[in-house]
Chain A
Amino acid sequence: MVQRVVIVVSGPVAGGKSLLARSLAERFGGIRFSTRDLLVPHLAEGQTPTRGTLQRIGAELDERTNGRWVVDGLSRRIFDADEEVVIVDAARIAAQIEGLRQAFGRDVRHVHVTAPRKVCAERYENRRSEAEFEEAASYAAVVADPTEERIDDLGAMADVAVDTERDGPDDVVVRVAAQLGLLDREHASCVDVIVGGSYGSEGKGNIAFHLAPEYDLLLRVGGPNAAHKVYLASGEIFTHFSLPSGTQAGDARLALGPGAVVYPPELLDEIARCDVSSSRLSIDPLVMIIDDADKAREAEKLGGIASTKSGTGFATARRIMRGDDVRLARDVPELHPYVRPTYEILEQAYASRQRIMLEGTQGSGLSLFHGPYPYVTSRDTNVAGCLAEAGIAPSRVRRVVLVVRTYPIRVGGTSGPLTTELTWEEIEERSGLKGLAEKELTSKTQRLRRVGEPEWDLLRRAALLNAPTDIALTFADYLDGRNVEAWRFEQLTDETIRFIEEVERVTGARVSLISTGFMQYRGIIDRRQW
């Protein structure tokens, strides 16, 4: 059996039927079937469709088939629709609705939308310019049709009846959807958040890529000052700046939340390289746009600290100043095909019980509020900050995965304190690995990273700020190169297992993911119990 709801809409002309049907389809991932499309083939050769002729043809068909033409025409199109919500726009007589009920039984929901005749007449005139076919001379002429005249009789038998007189279009959708039970009212916890627990460069991208196939929706926040590397199945290394790291791990929907900051030329290049379509990616209309001037001013002003100079910080500052120079995603024509409100995407995902992954950027120790100012980034990097930027309520969170490096790093240059700074040679000596100095360049700025001893205090603070349910420990091979050969937890070296136990004691969370090396295939030991 297919889990499907067939919503049939009725109501007077200009009562708001089609707008409702289209909005329901859009917001709840449904499909709209138009009964008008069934009438068009019945037009005589060369006859143009007008309001009057279509009304007449409909009435003739009603007469001839006792309203069955609607269900007969639609059932052969509905049966193989992939969508769970099917909207029939619109029924005009009771027999048509009866036919649908006979065919689809309890899955039919009849919605009647109406408004006082005066209001309908006004709307009718207002939308005349965008009519899809020739409309009648006046609303009075429309209502003269005998079927149209009795249309409000259908209100009595409807499952849901709404008077739209005082509502805006979105209000009608919410009212109807609520009564149809399409809205998620459970507020179930279905969002898993991935955040960094060090000073960035924890390998969040790879962990996100590993988990991504389990999700239906991947969200990213933050700006292109963070680069997330992933290792594709083909062995290629790909760096993401704005899109979620799981983009190429499957075909989940993608979204950039309203708090995100983007630089359109680079974003569009990334979209092109990942072969992402407009139906898959949504960019919130309120996403902040970095202008070239932001980059230039950062290069000049932020000279004192090691910043990526991506313009993210300055753009964020301008956004807060609300000057008239602010451009948001909705103001960029090139982004138009992707622009959709994140809350609508989230609502759809909640309603259909989908799993959602939110990918944060940078690390806990780089938070604007909780890191060692001024060696910080322009936002809060912890779980609460990421949720705020995405527009996700805290109670929606199911798992918080804190990604932690064995040896924390800082970007090269004046990037703030490390408790005990080490050299890459020392790490090579301890682990037996080679060539780390060549490998440990930052993704965004290609500078050599600084490295230090594990910072337990930083880890504890990250645990307090994020209350993780899971720790993903990365760079286990830096503790001991032999870990590269470990495929199971018990194959890790004893010293590594002791290290993991200590991480668990300090954070109060289980280390359920361990990354053992750069290799793309089986490079992560996964001991999750979820």
Chain B
Amino acid sequence: MTAINWTHPSVLRVLEQQGAKDPLEWVETRARDLALQAIEQGWTGPPYDSFKLADALDIEVVARQDLDDARLVAIEGKPRIEFNPQRRPARIRFSLAHEIGHLLFDDYADRTRYRDMDQRRADDWQLEVLCNVAAAELLMPAGALPIGETTDLDLVRLLDLRAKFGVSTEALLRRVIRLTARPACLFAAARTDDGRFRIDYTVRSRAWTPELRSGDVVSAEVLARCTAVGYADHGVEIWDGQELRVQAVGVPPYPGDRFPRVIGLLQPASETVPDDAGLRYVRGDASQPRTDGRAIIAHVVNNRAKRWGGQGFARSLMKRFPAAKDAYADWPAKERRLGALHIAPAADDLWIASLVAQAGYGPSDQPRLRLPALRQCLESLAETATSLRAEVHMPLIGTGQGGTPWPKVRDLILEELSRRHVRVTVHILPNALMPEDADDSAQMALL
């Protein structure tokens, strides 16, 4: 996916030691889990306060005027962020999140990253790009973006959001692409000497099919017009024989380059939103999914109870699929830890997936749903659903006893399941209220 030729030692370490294939995806996932943990500890936004995040992670934060922005240093083996307090608030929020991103690289202490000329490496920018991506994950946790699956991908409006969240354009668009049900493709490109553009990498939305390879060189007038950072333009162009709606914006150049990099969105020139992409909401009972093909019914369980609970959705599952209930009860307790997934056959072409994402049960003043665990469960569920070629049906998981606002859960579902082309249907009981989320026209239609 990525045409970036990773050379930076810190990045290579990640590739070797963590078994990561794509550093961008690796850093995204790590940062997402970090944010989800912090949210569970009561971290709220937007804007999400980076200082509180640093506190939660036990990082000392020190102000000093002689820095351009901020840096992460190790003082007696402990991380410390130093930052310039005279920058604009949004910039400081971002810089702090960016430095927290550096913490994801366990060799951060080996080199003081400072604008010290003789210590700088020509490929330091690679690490900076990754930490910008991490910062975005920290500043836009799941559920934070007011982007529905069918929101029009108008670049100019998306750039307004960027200001609100104080993240880089690149990071914002990466997120949007993962959420949208529309066929769209994010690309990052750099100008070549002859005024054409080399595609550095692409990220496809789940509904996007055309092949655009990184390393390709394209001539594009829209891109050529973006000669300044922040300048956005659009038009319809033929790329590789396909008529596309091209939107692009200039973003800061690679160090030493004269012209900005260009990132943007490609969409089919005549676009229809496929109705089977991503999340469908129906009024009904998830324990009775109506489908011709294979289906997995997903529900959240807690890590303490040996059996499915005696109320709510689990109760109707219990009644309907006793064999699956018994299979779960036979599951060894030591495997029943947060983040684990249990799959039990329930009928022909039907399975029950139990997501261990709730810590304990009973009344609690904190949500019992554990978002990092839920993300892990959903990731495993995506794998299972793909190999079984099954679609997933579920109730509004996590919102009942789990006590978590639906948009947070929904974004995780979009990013872990829908993005991997797993079709998900959410069943809302006929007499239940819609979750609070007026952004989705699909939901509005049900009202």
Q: Which residues of A contact B (CB under 8 A)?
A: 41, 45, 232-236, 251, 265, 268-269, 271-272, 275-281, 333-338, 521
Separation of A45 and B444 alpha carbons in the complex (Å)? 11
Q: Return the contact of B66 from the options A234, A272, A333, A338 (Cβ within 8 A).
A: A234
Which interface residue of A278, A281, A521 has the most chain B CB atoms within 10 A? A278
- Is residue B68 within 8 Å, beta carbon to beta carbon, of the partner chain? yes
B227 located at the interface, meaning its Cβ lies under 8 Å from any Cβ of chain A in the complex: yes
The verdict on A235 contacting B66 (CB below 8 Å), with A265-B258, A272-B260 known, is yes
- Of chain A, the residue at the smallest CB distance from B441 is A41
A235, A272, A338: the one contacting B253 at CB < 8 Å is: A272
Please state if A335 and B227 are interface contacts (CB–CB under 8 Å): yes
Complex interface residues of chain B between 242 and 295 (CB less than 8 A to chain A):
250, 252-253, 257-260
Q: How far is the CB of A267 from chain B (nearest CB, A)?
A: 10
Q: A278 to B251: give the CA distance in the assembly, Å.
A: 10
Ranked nearest first, the 9 interchain pairs of A and B with the lowest CB-CB distance are A278-B228, A337-B228, A337-B231, A277-B230, A278-B231, A277-B229, A334-B227, A278-B230, A272-B253
Give the distance in Å from the alpha carbon of A375 to the alpha carbon of B64 in the complex.
46
Q: Once the chains are docked, how many angstroms separate the CA of A233 from the CA of B115?
A: 11
Provide the bound-state CA to CA distance between A513 and B231, in Å. 39
Given contacts A41-B441, A278-B250, contact A271 B228 (CB under 8 A): yes
Closest chain B CB from A262 CB (angstroms): 14
> B228 contacts A277, CB within 8 Å?
yes
Question: Which positions 51-97 of chain B face chain A at CB distance < 8 Å?
Answer: 65-68, 84, 88
B250 contacts across to A, CB distance below 8 A? 278, 337
- Distance in angstroms between the alpha carbons of A265 and B84 in the assembled complex: 32
Residues of chain A contacted by B445 (CB below 8 angstroms): 45
- Within 8 Å of chain A (Cβ to Cβ): is B225? yes
Cα distance A203–B427 in the bound complex, in angstroms: 71
Q: How far is the CA of A279 from the CA of B162 in the complex (A)?
A: 15
Q: With the chains together, A236 CA to B120 CA distance in Å?
A: 14
Structural contact, A251 and B88, CB atoms closer than 8 A: yes
CB distance from A246 to the nearest CB of B (A): 14
Question: 1/0 contact trace for B378-398 toward A, CB 8 Å?
Answer: 000000000000000000000
Contact A233 B252 (CB under 8 A): no
0/1 string, B411-438, CB within 8 A of A gives 1: 0000000000000000000000000000
CA distance A213 to B351 in the complex (A): 65
A272/B259 in contact, CB under 8 A: yes
11 of the cross-chain contacts (CB-CB < 8 Å) are A232-B68, A233-B66, A271-B228, A272-B252, A272-B258, A275-B229, A278-B229, A279-B230, A337-B226, A337-B228, A521-B66
Residues of A within 8 A of B257 (CB): 272
Contact (Cβ within 8 A) A337 B66: no
The minimal Cβ–Cβ distance linking B216 to chain A, given in whole angstroms, is: 23
Name the distance in Å between A73's Cβ and chain B's nearest Cβ.
13
Chain A residues with Cβ below 8 Å from B253 are 272
Contact check, B228 vs A233: say whether CB atoms are below 8 A apart.
no
Distance, CA A334 to CA B226, complexed state (A): 8
CA distance A122 to B95 in the complex (A): 53
Q: Are B67 and A233 in contact (CB under 8 A)?
A: yes
User: Could you tell me if B67 and A234 are in contact, using CB atoms closer than 8 angstroms?
Assistant: yes
* Residues of A contacting B88 in the complex (Cβ-Cβ under 8 angstroms): 251
A39 smallest CB distance to B (angstroms): 14
Which B residues touch A337, using CB under 8 A? 225-228, 230-231, 250
Cross-chain contact B229 with A269 (CB below 8 angstroms): no
B358-409 interface (Cβ within 8 A of A)? none
CB-nearest residue of chain B to A46? B272
CB-defined contacts of B227 to chain A, threshold 8 Å: 268, 333-337
**Which residue in A41, A251, A269, A521 is a CB contact (below 8 Å) of B258?**
A269
- Residue-wise interface mask of B (332-374) relative to A, using a CB-CB cutoff of 8 A (1 in contact, 0 not): 0000000000000000000000000000000000000000000
Bound complex: CA of A277 vs CA of B250, how far in Å?
9
**Chain B residues within an 8 Å CB radius of A338:** 228
Contact call A268/B230, Cβ cutoff below 8 A: no
Complex Cα spacing A235 to B88, Å:
21
B152 to A, closest residue via Cβ: A40
Contacts of B231 in A (CB 8 A): 278, 337
- Are B66's CB and A268's CB within 8 A? no
Excluding A268-B227, A521-B66, 11 further A-B contacts by CB distance (< 8 Å) are A41-B441, A45-B445, A234-B67, A234-B68, A235-B66, A265-B258, A272-B253, A272-B259, A278-B229, A280-B230, A337-B230
Q: Which residues of B contact A521 (CB under 8 A)?
A: 66
Expressed in whole angstroms, the minimum distance between the Cβ of A501 and any Cβ of chain B is: 34
How many angstroms between the C-alpha atoms of A275 and B259 in the bound complex?
Answer: 11
- B-chain residues with CB within 8 Å of residue A271 when the two chains form the complex: 228
Q: Report the minimal beta-carbon distance from A184 to chain B, rounded to whole angstroms.
A: 27
Contact string against A for B residues 211-251, beta-carbon threshold 8 Å, 1 for contact and 0 otherwise = 00000000000001111111100000000000000000010
Chain A neighbourhood of B226, CB < 8 A: 337
Q: How far is the CA of A281 from the CA of B231 in the complex (A)?
A: 11
Q: Given A41-B441, A279-B230, A334-B227, does the pair A233, B258 have CB atoms closer than 8 Å?
A: no
Across-interface contacts of A276 in B (CB, < 8 A)? 229
B380 to chain A, nearest CB (A): 35
Which of B65, B115, B230 has the most C-beta atoms of chain A within 10 angstroms of its own C-beta? B230
Q: Is the CB of A233 within 8 A of B230?
A: no
Cα A251 to Cα B87 with chains together (Å): 9
CB of B55, distance to nearest CB on chain A (Å): 27
Q: Which residue of chain B has its CB nearest to the CB of A236?
A: B115
Closest B residue by C-beta to A41: B441
Residues of A within 8 A of B66 (CB): 233-235, 521
- Complex formed: what's the CA distance from A251 to B231 in Å? 18
B335 vs chain A, min Cβ distance (A): 45
Contact of A268 among B84, B115, B224, B258 (CB under 8 A): B258
Task: Kindly list chain A residues whose C-beta atoms are within 8 Å of the C-beta of B259.
Answer: 268, 272, 334
Contact in complex: B67, A275 (CB < 8 Å):
no
Contact of A233 with B65 at beta-carbon distance under 8 Å, contacts A268-B258, A272-B260, A337-B250 already known: yes
Give every chain B residue within 8 A of A281 (Cβ-Cβ): 228
Task: List residues 186-230 of chain B with CB under 8 A from any CB of chain A.
Answer: 224-230
Chain A residues near B441 (CB-CB < 8 A): 41, 45
Closest to B163 in A: A82
Return chain B residues, CB-CB under 8 Å to A41: 441
Q: Contact between A336 and B225 (Cβ–Cβ < 8 Å)?
A: yes
In the complex, the chain B residue whose C-beta lies closest to that of A268 is B258
Residues in B whose Cβ lies below 8 Å from that of A336: 225, 227
Tell me which residues across on chain B come within 8 A of A268, comparing CB atoms: 227, 258-259
User: With the chains together, A193 CA to B253 CA distance in Å?
Assistant: 33
B115/A234 in contact, CB under 8 A: yes
Q: Kindly provide the distance from the CB of B261 to the nearest chain A CB, expressed in whole angstroms.
A: 11
**Residues on the B chain within 8 Å of A278, using CB:** 228-231, 250
Which partner residue on chain B sits nearest A276 by CB separation? B229
Minimum C-beta distance from A51 to chain B (A): 19
* Alpha-carbon separation in the docked complex, A176 to B335 (Å): 73
Query: A277 to B84, alpha carbons, bound, how many Å?
Result: 21
A521 to B65, CA, bound (A): 10
On chain A, the residues within 8 Å of B224 by CB distance are 333
A89 to chain B, nearest CB (A): 16
> What residue in chain B is nearest A251 (Cβ atoms)?
B88
Write out the residue numbers on chain B whose beta carbons fall within 8 Å of the beta carbon of A45.
Answer: 441, 445
Give chain B nearest CB distance to A234 CB in angstroms: 5
A333 to B259, CA, bound (A): 13
- Chain A nearest Cβ from B251, distance in angstroms: 10
Most B-side CB within 10 Å, residue of A45, A272, A276, A521: A272
Complex: A322 Cα to B445 Cα, angstroms: 64
Q: Which residue of B lies closest to A31 (CB)?
A: B160
Q: In the complex, what's the smallest C-beta–C-beta distance from B160 to chain A, in angstroms?
A: 10
Chain B residues contacting A235 (CB-CB under 8 Å) are: 66
Residue of A nearest to B66 (CB): A233
- Identify the closest chain B residue to A269 (Cβ): B258
A520 and chain B: residue at smallest CB distance: B66
CA distance A334 to B224 in the complex (A): 8
A274: min CB distance to chain B, Å: 10
**Min CB distance, A255 to chain B, in Å?**
14
User: What is the bound-complex CA distance between A45 and B445, given in angstroms?
Assistant: 9
Nearest-neighbor residue (CB-CB) of B249 within chain A:
A278
